[in-house]
Structures are given as structure tokens and as C-alpha cells.
Amino acid sequence: MKVLIASSNLGKVKEIGEILKKIDKKVEILSLKDIFDEVPDIPENARTFTGNALAKANFLAKKSAGNWILADDSGLVVSALKGNPGVRSARYAGEIKDDKKNIEKLLGEMQEFVEEEQRSAHFCCAMVLVSPNTEKSFAAIGKCKGKIAFEEKGDGGFGYDPIFIPEGYDKTFGELSSSVKNKISHRAKALEILSDIFKDVLNGGEI
């Protein structure tokens, strides 16, 4: 079984690949660079994380016949900002992805919310597995609850990690080690759920 991980983030491809290989050594992991000379522009215009992940997976399934596709979409959902930045997380401050500008914009909007309970937020990750003919789609969502810090801390991770403090910790994702993050993150949770589906697909189950 060949699985194309629909991400241009090689760190993410490696992380997901390692988890899938633990389930079955016969899984062959492909990255976008194994399939495309030039990685195509993948549409992300749906209204939900799941919609975006499915759109990416279906787009790639058409372009790379014969492989299973694993795609994800994730973002930060801030209660006080009515769910923003949400599906627009990566491009919150403008059409070009810029973590620094996104964080600045968000911290600016959060200035008026000074009480602890006003700063609650969660990271959300939708992860989908789509069959080669796109007939079957399996979706799982993982969430990681926490709050928005008052300032950037730490330089680990990416995106909004330096301003997100997960529940049960007093450090941001930017400060916490990647091994801690990989245990409690939204992505880890979504992948854990999808792993069960993988086991069955790999074992020729009826699904």
C-alpha cells in the first residue's frame, strides 16, 4: 500500500510516516516531491478544516492515480474572536503565509481580552484518508485545548505555536519539546484516531 502524504512540510511527512510505519512496515510513504517535479497549487477554499483536507486529498488523487492519499488541514480557533483565525489561520494577515505577521495580528486583536477565561482557544486538525479512486474518505478530527499567551515565547514548532499554551501546561508550544507536543497535539490526536482505520485498510478489512 502506497500512501501519499499531502504536505509540503517534510517534518510533517516524516512524523506521519513514522507513525504509519509502526502500524505496518509494508506501508510505503510518498511525499509530494516523489510524485511531482513541481508541487502543484492545492486549493484550500472550503469553509471547514475537514472540507479543506478533503479538497486537497481529492485534488491529489486525480493527479496521482493509484495511491491512497493522506491530507490534513489545521488551524487555531479563538473563542473571543468568534472562531477566527480558523480555516484562514495560515493566511490571517495576508495572502502570503507569514507566521510572524499572523501572530502580530492575533495578539493585537486579543489586547482587549485581558481576563484568563477570555483567552481560551483550541488548535483543530482534520485528517483524512482517501482511497485511490476517491470512493472512500475517512475523516478524524483532533483538538488541543489551551489559551492564547500575552506574548510570544519559544522558537520551537511553527505557526501560532509561540503564543499557544496547551491545557495542563504553563509553557507555549514554542517552548515545549517536540516530543511533548507530538503526544498532546491536535495532529497527534487526529492521527491516533485515523490509525485505527489504517490498520483495517492494511489488513484487508471490509471497510
Sites of contact with a second copy (CB under 8 A): 43, 46-51, 54-55, 58-59, 124, 126, 134-143, 189, 192-194, 196-197, 199-200, 203, 205-207
Helix (H) / strand (E) element for 33: namely helix 32-35
For residue 149, give every residue at least 6 positions away whose Cβ sits within 8 Å of its Cβ, in sequence order, or none. Answer: 162, 163, 164, 165, 172
Q: How far is the CB of 3 from a second copy (least distance, A)?
A: 17
Catalytic-role residue among 41, 72, 73, 155:
73
- Residue 59 or residue 164: which is nearer to a second copy going by CB? 59
- Does the active-site annotation cover 170? no
Any idea what the Cα angle at residue 142 is, between residues 139 and 146, rounded to 5°?
160
Using DSSP, state whether 202 is helix, strand or coil.
Answer: helix
> In this complex, which beta carbon is closest to a second copy, that of residue 147 or of residue 189?
189
- For the bound state, the minimum distance from the C-beta of residue 178 to a second copy, rounded and expressed in Å, comes to 22
Of 97, 153, 157, nearest to 123 by C-alpha is: 157
Cβ 151 to a second copy, closest distance in Å?
A: 29
Q: Is the dihedral of CA 126, 132, 137, 138 positive or negative?
A: negative
State how far the Cα of 166 lies from the Cα of 176, in Å rounded to an integer.
Answer: 10
Rounded Cα distance between 199 and 24, Å, is 8
Report in angstroms how near the CB of residue 68 gets to a second copy at its nearest.
Answer: 14
Task: Choose between 110 and 201: whose C-beta lies nearer to a second copy.
Answer: 201
The bridge status of strand 2-5 relative to strand 28-31 is: parallel
Q: Given the complex with a second copy, which of 49 and 162 has the nearer CB atom?
A: 49
Catalogue the active-site residues: 73
